[in-house]
A and B are shown apart, each in its own frame.
Chain A
């Protein structure tokens, strides 16, 4: 158990809908990362937050947005869902700064039908 909690674990929704994925980082970690992993693909970096502020952005679609709240939990919002958005979405957390170990949650499986 990495200490990073993600909910829901599984989600099935229809095209055009909107979903919210939630992440609670490890106790004491200030940074939260979001990654997307499509079937048998690599880990695509989406976005990173540190103590409530956006720190880095990757290949995140405009239909996707995220935020980190004062209690440090984070949410990833996916809207106008398409079939191609079906993937495993991982949240990860670390202490502040480069060079710290980044721990992954179990992921949220999203299936768009």
Chain B
């Protein structure tokens, strides 16, 4: 099942913070976060595993609530380079990684 992301779009000024949420109706084993700029490949940001393990970039923080099957990505002190579309992907009982519809983030000067 496709995870649900919110909000669909966010507009920030440089230096502001944002939170992107991702939820699933099915039990999750892992949640994967990616950022994609237009026409480019999605770039790996973070993976959160059932049990609490996290792997990813030092400047990126995220949480995974296993009971609620929800994950949140925290973007602090945003920079212009943070602009792009953020996708969360979920893995449940299999290795299949299904992505949400994405959250478009725009950071303005």
Interface positions of A (Cβ within 8 A of B): 2, 31, 33, 35, 42-43, 45, 48, 50, 55-56, 58, 88, 90, 92, 94, 97-99, 101-107
Contacts and interface: CB of A to CB of B under 8 A. Distances in A.
Contacts, number: 63
Contacts of A45: 96-99
Interface of B: 29-30, 32, 34, 39-44, 47, 49, 53, 55, 87, 89, 91, 94-102
B59 to A, nearest CB: 17
B96 A104 contact: no
A55 B41 CA distance: 23
A33 B97 contact: yes
Contact of A99 (B44, B91, B98, B102): B91
Nearest to B42: A104
Contacts of B40: 106
